[in-house]
A and B are shown apart, each in its own frame.
Chain A
Amino acid sequence: MPRVVVDVVLKPEISDPQGQAVLGALGRLGHGGVSSVRQGKHFVLEVEGTPDPAELRQIAETLLANPVIEDVELHLVPEAQD
């Protein structure tokens, strides 16, 4: 069954305290090379039949993400291995 992966992250201009907390911890743990962390959400949708990109984009932009504060990225995973 085809899968669609939707990644949602806060827009760059919206502060992300969770990501900042992780970044701070990384620094204290000696991983000074990481310069930014943004925490987000990862959705995996399994779709019957052929996915309709327009419909999926609508789902992503109107429900899975809040366009006021979040950016969204869609990835189609052609045919899952199982």
Chain B
Amino acid sequence: MSAVVDTVTRAGQTPEEAQPWAELGLREEEYARIREILGRRPTTAELAMYSVMWSEHCSYKSSKVHLRTFGDLPHSEALLVGMGENAGVVDVGDGYAVTFKVESHNHPSYIEPYQGAATGVGGIVRDILTMGARPVAVMDSLRFGRADAPDTARVLPGVVAGVGGYGNCLGLPNIGGELLFDDCYAGNPLVNALCVGVMRHSDVRLAKAEGVGNKVVLFGARTGGDGIGGVSVLASETFDATGPATRPAVQVGDPFTEKLLIEACLEIFAADLVTGIQDLGGAGLSCATSELAAAGSGGMHVDLDTVPLRDSTLTAAEILMSESQERMCAIVEPAKVEAFLAVCARWDVLATVIGEVTDGTRLTVDWHGEQIVDVPPRTVALDGPVYHRPMARPADLDALQADLPPITSTDLRADWLAVVGSPDGADKSWVTEQYDRYVQGNTVLAQPEDAGVVRIDESSHRGIALALDGNARFARLDPYVGAQLNLAEAYRNVAVSGAVPLAVTNCLNFGSPEEPEVMWQFAEAVRGLADGCRALGLPVTGGNVSLYNQTGDVPINPTPVIGVLGVHADVRTRVSGGWQAAGETLLLLGETRPEFAGSAWASVVHGHLGGLPPQLDLAAEQALGGLLATLAAGGLVGSAHDLSDGGLAQALTESALRYGVGATVTVAGDPTAALFSESVARAVVSTSDAAAVLAAAREAGVPVTELGTTGGEALVVEGVLELPLAELHTTWSTTLPALFDTPEAVTGTRPAGAVPTGAVPTS
């Protein structure tokens, strides 16, 4: 093999050599800037590193200028580690810290649903682990095209099996999430995964390479050709073509290895064996080494020949960019290397010293004895391009907002059944039964509850609550208000469980930033979220941005998925959403206005999207949240359920069907508004002490309406309609199985835990 390695020396001697920067997604001025930084052309390996680290996915070059707003929020006592690290860390009391984050894996999940979703879970779990925390739960927020579209039948079962297959095998309970359908996601499903981890304050770890002479240790899976399809233009690097002709663009997950990695890391943290740690995700070693070095003093040397490979034909650039899963990179003091390797050996985790922290400010990489990378790591990891993209209010927005929805139902009973039987409103058990909710034995509430609740201390009963919400219809109608409405809903969902909301994360899914209208939507959503957080006094701990989500030229509806974390001082006072007893009084907290724009009713019954979203009232949300916490702590309510998509009809349905307890209620005023309006800051509670709840509500300044009483075998709205629970249950529970329990869908999934090797997308 007459390999010519493109060394730093060679790059200096061949300034005119043509390089495939455009094929790697770099713009001409970006390539020019790389040459300027280096004072020469980049080597092939350097070009690979810059191109992937300066991609939208890694550099946030279009979103950065907007995201800075979150950093301007008032200081929060609860925030121990803020944005910029792998995940933010929040003080939840008693010396406990919690780290949580959502990340998208949208595009990989469209190409290969099972592996795309599985590795999405794997990636976010490693982010949480990297902070020094034990991962304790996951959630998933999913969006697909129309439920009856053929491609949804291909993508959804695989995604669900992938989320479950990976999370179940890691032993992480799945405690909730979302599953929604809309045509706009037909060619671009959204797969957002959240992970939450718990640690003691003193255990927080940072991704930083410090201490000259400290070793760089790569541990976990071997490096293969996963996820480097995009750099196949560099395969001619060695000027011979004996390597595999194409590399799979899909990463393949191995949850068993990740489980071992988790246990090994926790043992390593407990024994204090690392000074810095970083997981390998997008951009693999390029990202991990440059970020670790950039966060430290800057100097690092890596010998690429020491990296354990699964495929010996990989080129240097491919090794640097490989997105093989289940790998981590640690900075270890020389005296602790032996102990570090011993822990890894005990867990059958492969660990290799691949380099060390050096004096100086350069990241250098050797390959076959020659230097192929010599860069200032900050220029790779931190000082990438930043764009102020042009923005324009969507031209169709005025017309959309002026297109008011219908306001009167002609058949309330039929509409009720249509809403709760729609794919968005229907029972999600078909999905959630594929997820382990019980493992670890600390799950206090999980789906279908409004929020997931996990106990974090068995003796003090302290716990946390989490909710994820992302109504894209509201955000389409007004992204500024829509983002805040999503924040409000997640806040409310955490509050109905009895928790006190504490911190916010987000996953911002939008179309192409090169479209001024999309960029405007993005900027408005970020501004809205920041203003909402300021009003609620909550910090943004971090987040994720996913752009270029579109089918053909049509962007998805703006989908800012917002996560809110809350704290339970005592999880034993948590409140469930289901009615468990007959004879309880049902009270509606909050105020109902005739607000149908963007509602589930307008969408399901009328196929309508237009108007202005419901009026936001964060002060009312705070008052309601405070009241719900008081009611929970005092044991004054038997259940609490928030009102959102589908309004009162959806909430009553879910509360009744949970344990098969009906109710008789009376609604005042216009029944369409009473049943289907999506006015915010509302919840239904059931209580055996109505007087006490009314008094507390008066104190909190929350309006209350008495709805009726639980009991019976039906939901009865007096003078309006009667729905036997059996009929309601059939309508609600058969939708998803009928759509997705087809044999074809089943054939498309892979067994939980069965890892196909070398999987290449075939569809």
A and B touch in the complex (CB under 8 A): yes
Chain A residues with a Cβ under 8 A of chain B: 18, 21-22, 24-25, 28
Nearest-Cβ distance from residue A3 to partner chain B, whole angstroms: 17
Residue numbers in B under 8 Å from A25 (CB-CB): 743-744, 747
Apart from A24-B747, A25-B743, A25-B747, what are 8 other A-B pairs with CB-CB below 8 Å? A18-B751, A21-B746, A21-B747, A22-B747, A24-B743, A25-B744, A28-B743, A28-B744
9 A–B contact pairs at CB < 8 A? A18-B751, A21-B746, A21-B747, A22-B747, A24-B743, A24-B747, A25-B743, A25-B747, A28-B743
Kindly state the separation between the CA atoms of A21 and B744 in the bound complex, as whole angstroms.
Answer: 8
5 shortest interchain CB distances as A-B pairs: A24-B743, A21-B747, A25-B747, A21-B746, A21-B743
Cβ < 8 Å to A, chain B residues 717-763: 743-744, 746-747, 751
Residue numbers in A under 8 Å from B744 (CB-CB): 25, 28
Q: How many A-B residue pairs have CB under 8 A?
A: 12
Chain B interface, DSSP helix/strand/loop, else mixed = helix
Kindly state the separation between the CA atoms of A22 and B747 in the bound complex, as whole angstroms.
Answer: 6
Nearest-Cβ distance from residue A24 to partner chain B, whole angstroms: 5
Kindly state the separation between the CA atoms of A66 and B743 in the bound complex, as whole angstroms.
Answer: 27
Kindly state the separation between the CA atoms of A24 and B746 in the bound complex, as whole angstroms.
Answer: 11
Nearest-Cβ distance from residue A66 to partner chain B, whole angstroms: 16
Chain A interface, DSSP helix/strand/loop, else mixed = helix
Chain B residues with a Cβ under 8 A of chain A: 743-744, 746-747, 751
Kindly state the separation between the CA atoms of A18 and B747 in the bound complex, as whole angstroms.
Answer: 7
Nearest-Cβ distance from residue A81 to partner chain B, whole angstroms: 16
Residue numbers in B under 8 Å from A24 (CB-CB): 743, 747
Nearest-Cβ distance from residue A27 to partner chain B, whole angstroms: 10
Residue numbers in A under 8 Å from B746 (CB-CB): 21
Residue numbers in A under 8 Å from B743 (CB-CB): 21, 24-25, 28
Kindly state the separation between the CA atoms of A11 and B746 in the bound complex, as whole angstroms.
Answer: 22
Nearest-Cβ distance from residue A13 to partner chain B, whole angstroms: 21
Residue numbers in B under 8 Å from A28 (CB-CB): 743-744
Kindly state the separation between the CA atoms of A25 and B743 in the bound complex, as whole angstroms.
Answer: 7
Closest to B743 in A: A24
Nearest-Cβ distance from residue B616 to partner chain A, whole angstroms: 48
Nearest-Cβ distance from residue B337 to partner chain A, whole angstroms: 32
Nearest-Cβ distance from residue B154 to partner chain A, whole angstroms: 12
Nearest-Cβ distance from residue A23 to partner chain B, whole angstroms: 9
Closest to B751 in A: A18
Nearest-Cβ distance from residue A18 to partner chain B, whole angstroms: 8
Closest to B744 in A: A25
Closest to B750 in A: A18
Residue numbers in A under 8 Å from B747 (CB-CB): 21-22, 24-25
Nearest-Cβ distance from residue A41 to partner chain B, whole angstroms: 10
Nearest-Cβ distance from residue B240 to partner chain A, whole angstroms: 17
Nearest-Cβ distance from residue B153 to partner chain A, whole angstroms: 12
Residue numbers in A under 8 Å from B751 (CB-CB): 18
Nearest-Cβ distance from residue A46 to partner chain B, whole angstroms: 15
Nearest-Cβ distance from residue B436 to partner chain A, whole angstroms: 21
Nearest-Cβ distance from residue B640 to partner chain A, whole angstroms: 41
Nearest-Cβ distance from residue A44 to partner chain B, whole angstroms: 11
Kindly state the separation between the CA atoms of A16 and B746 in the bound complex, as whole angstroms.
Answer: 14
Residue numbers in B under 8 Å from A18 (CB-CB): 751
Kindly state the separation between the CA atoms of A28 and B743 in the bound complex, as whole angstroms.
Answer: 10
Residue numbers in B under 8 Å from A21 (CB-CB): 743, 746-747
Kindly state the separation between the CA atoms of A22 and B744 in the bound complex, as whole angstroms.
Answer: 8
Residue numbers in B under 8 Å from A22 (CB-CB): 747
Nearest-Cβ distance from residue B180 to partner chain A, whole angstroms: 28
Kindly state the separation between the CA atoms of A77 and B20 in the bound complex, as whole angstroms.
Answer: 43
Kindly state the separation between the CA atoms of A49 and B743 in the bound complex, as whole angstroms.
Answer: 46
Nearest-Cβ distance from residue B481 to partner chain A, whole angstroms: 46
Kindly state the separation between the CA atoms of A18 and B749 in the bound complex, as whole angstroms.
Answer: 10
Kindly state the separation between the CA atoms of A25 and B748 in the bound complex, as whole angstroms.
Answer: 10
Kindly state the separation between the CA atoms of A21 and B751 in the bound complex, as whole angstroms.
Answer: 13
Closest to B746 in A: A21
Closest to A26 in B: B747
Kindly state the separation between the CA atoms of A24 and B748 in the bound complex, as whole angstroms.
Answer: 13
Nearest-Cβ distance from residue A16 to partner chain B, whole angstroms: 13
Kindly state the separation between the CA atoms of A18 and B750 in the bound complex, as whole angstroms.
Answer: 10
Kindly state the separation between the CA atoms of A73 and B743 in the bound complex, as whole angstroms.
Answer: 30
Kindly state the separation between the CA atoms of A18 and B746 in the bound complex, as whole angstroms.
Answer: 9
Kindly state the separation between the CA atoms of A25 and B747 in the bound complex, as whole angstroms.
Answer: 8
Closest to A28 in B: B744
Nearest-Cβ distance from residue A48 to partner chain B, whole angstroms: 19
Closest to A21 in B: B747
